Amino acid sequence: MWSVTVYRKRKGDDKLPMQTRANVPLELMYTIIPLIMIAVLFRWTATDIAEIKDVSGPADVHIQAIGKQWAWDFNYLDDEVYSVGVQAVLTGKPGVEETLPNLYLPVGETVDITLNSRDVIHSFWIPAFLFKQDMIPGRTTHIQFIPETEGTYQGKCAELCGEYHSAMLFNVKVVSREEYDAQMQKLRDAGQTGSIGLEYNRLQDPEVQPAGAEG
């Protein structure tokens, strides 16, 4: 209202307002400085991401994580055993965590996880580890890291993958080597030897071709 009142065009005033010309130094400044900032941040990002995603080193433990609508299967490749996950039922009541699939990792050892999707795009994400990796049907990717602190961490799918995406959760249990070996033996005693492949659908039915597998 102040501008409308004070700077209004008055009767008999036919002069044009003062025209502002281009300010070349200013325009160069707000073009060049952001480009320099982006280049610096890109270099740091590219360097760090390359180091984080480097899987060229030897690993102590090899595991395959398979995403499916809407749960996870884990193949412990070195021990030749597997665990099968079922979709969680999110009731909002305590105890749901106990029904989730468990991924066991030995503390202080280099873990290489092979990531595959059985049907649609998923994303393997452990928030506490500050890293996630997309899982594309028909592609195999790897992540490699060293879990340093024992405990139970939350894992989830970070890619919208269908109706029950929010229930696609799992536990990550970082344990001692002794407990890890004990868990592998439990799977072996339960008859879950070998590995479970990508030929199943989310209901573990090999007669039904996984979605997106045609061609």
pLDDT at 202 (0 to 100): 63
Lowest-pLDDT range of 104-108, 180-184, 193-197? 193-197
pLDDT tens for each residue of 130-167: 889 999 998 999 999 999 999 999 999 999 999 899 99
> Mean pLDDT of all residues in the chain?
87
CA proximity to 150, closest of 173, 128, 167, 123: 173
Q: Note the CATH architecture for domain 61-189.
A: Sandwich (2.60)
pLDDT tens for each residue of 73-91: 999 999 999 999 888 887 7
Q: Does pLDDT of 122 surpass 80?
A: yes
pLDDT tens for each residue of 163-185: 899 999 999 999 999 999 999 99
pLDDT at 18 (0 to 100): 76
Per-residue confidence at 203, pLDDT binned at 50, 70, 90? low
pLDDT tens for each residue of 10-30: 888 888 777 777 788 888 999
pLDDT at 215 (0 to 100): 30
Per-residue confidence at 210, pLDDT binned at 50, 70, 90? very low
Question: Structural domain boundaries of the chain?
Answer: 22-52, 61-189
**What's the whole-model pTM score?**
0.74
What number is the average pLDDT over the span 46-62? 89
Q: Give the angle subtended at the CA of 85 by the CAs of 82 and 90, to the nearest 5°.
A: 160
